Amino acid sequence: MKPTDLAQALSHYLGMYLPSQRNVSPNTIKSYRDTFKLFLLFCKQKCSIPAERLSLKHVDKIRVLEFLDWLESDRNNSVSTRNQRLACIHSFYRYMQIEDPIGLLSYQQIMSIPLKKTRAPMINHLTPEALKLILAQPDTSKMNGRRNLALLAVLYDSGARVQELVDLKVRDVRLDDPPILTLTGKGRKKRHVPIMPNTKVLLEQYMDESSLTLDGMLDSPLFFNRQRRKMTRAGICYILNKYVAQAKTTSCIIPNDVTPHIMRHTKAMLLLQSGVSLIYIRDFLGHTDITTTEIYARADTETKRKALEKAYPDIVETPLPQWNKDDALLTWLTSL
């Protein structure tokens, strides 16, 4: 069977263009791939067009809109997920308008489909007390506990995304002063982040104990499982959730849902509350645009409260008049 023009375009886009020309990360490619897997499923179930017969002429603005409605109604996807799928489709047709100018009008009509407005997400983060309590849970008398403590300390102190932590290798760690980690972020962009002395000590002890300082270990994963394979995102979530559950049994200050990304949010918020510039926080977190980092400034109610206290000191006084000691008022009330 002769492959369709859509099959050829998608194969080149996902297999060649994104990894080779755009240099996007494997996780981003998986996100794009999953979007088109869902679209092919939609076309088969709702339009009775199997994947082997689906061509570019079958896909227009109306069909894409029907696909987006199907995501929300049949699959119960949120607006943010719907927007993410649409962004993947936009990217593909932005590529197609250069590769196939004949279909330019149809492609631009698809690209004109707007994202749905959605509420800005709340920035959940931990208080310093909650963070200390979670980090106090690993049993440091055991080797696994010492590894887990080093892992959680690095996750927080570096502000790393969980995939960045998974991808860390021994060669990415420099423990000489000043200690630095080299993280590989979105788009395979590298950045250097400093770690604090206490985290350095934990990491140094863990690496010595795990024989990661020996010759020939530079390409070994920094954090690994029992098979000495690099840990997965799910594995790191499991470790964090275990200690979060333990901390909850002793205190009510731990939020219900603590994810590795909340540790990243916590680092950003504490940097901001310490007076660190948003420009530095942007570079520290690996954001490409300062507007992404500004969400922390909008969410930081504690810094706003302190600024207001400095700007308007003692305008509203705490002591209130005691009505039951006002003789004139009491006489008037009695006369009623």
What is the tens place of the pLDDT at every residue in 198-229?
A: 999 999 999 999 999 898 999 999 999 888 89
Dist. CA 321–CA 323, nearest whole Å:
6
- Is the pLDDT at 318 greater than 60? The verdict is no
Same domain, 107 and 147: no
Convert the pLDDT of each residue in 142-180 to its tens digit. 999 999 999 999 999 999 999 999 999 999 999 998 999
* Residue position matching structure tokens 């896909």: 59
Domain membership of residue 262 (yes or no) is: yes
**What confidence category does residue 20 fall into, taking pLDDT thresholds of 50, 70 and 90?**
confident
Domain membership of residue 332 (yes or no) is: no
Same domain, 171 and 245: yes
Positions marked catalytic: 161, 186, 261, 264, 287, 296
Last residue of a domain, one of 111, 138, 167: 111
Are the CB atoms for 254 and 130 separated by under 8 Å?
A: yes
Position 47 scores a pLDDT of 94
Same domain, 47 and 107: yes
Q: Which range of residues forms the domain containing residue 17?
A: 5-111
Q: Which of 75-79, 113-117, 289-293 has the lowest mean pLDDT?
A: 289-293
Domain membership of residue 231 (yes or no) is: yes
Interval 307-319 mean pLDDT: 60
Same domain, 172 and 295: yes
User: Which residues have C-beta within 8 Å of that of residue 57, sequence separation ≥ 6?
Assistant: none
Same domain, 151 and 261: yes
Q: Can you give the CATH number for the domain in which 17 is found?
A: 1.10.150
The helix/strand/coil state of 174 is strand
Q: Is 307 exposed, middle or buried (0-12, 13-18, 19+ CB in 10 A)?
A: exposed
* Residue position matching structure tokens 């997965």: 232
Angle formed at CA 202 by CA 199 and CA 207, multiple of 5 degrees: 120
DSSP string, 178-207: SPEEEEE-GGG-EEEEE--HHHHHHHHHHH
Q: Can you give the CATH number for the domain in which 133 is found?
A: 1.10.443.10
**What confidence category does residue 119 fall into, taking pLDDT thresholds of 50, 70 and 90?**
confident
Q: What is the pTM of this model?
A: 0.73
- Is the pLDDT at 92 greater than 90? The verdict is yes
**What confidence category does residue 335 fall into, taking pLDDT thresholds of 50, 70 and 90?**
confident
Same domain, 58 and 166: no
Position 148 scores a pLDDT of 95
Are the CB atoms for 14 and 88 separated by under 8 Å?
A: no
Position 121 scores a pLDDT of 65
- Is the pLDDT at 1 greater than 90? The verdict is no
Same domain, 21 and 107: yes
Are the CB atoms for 296 and 274 separated by under 8 Å?
A: no
Dist. CA 67–CA 49, nearest whole Å:
13
Domain membership of residue 317 (yes or no) is: no
Q: How many domains does the chain have?
A: 2
Same domain, 46 and 162: no
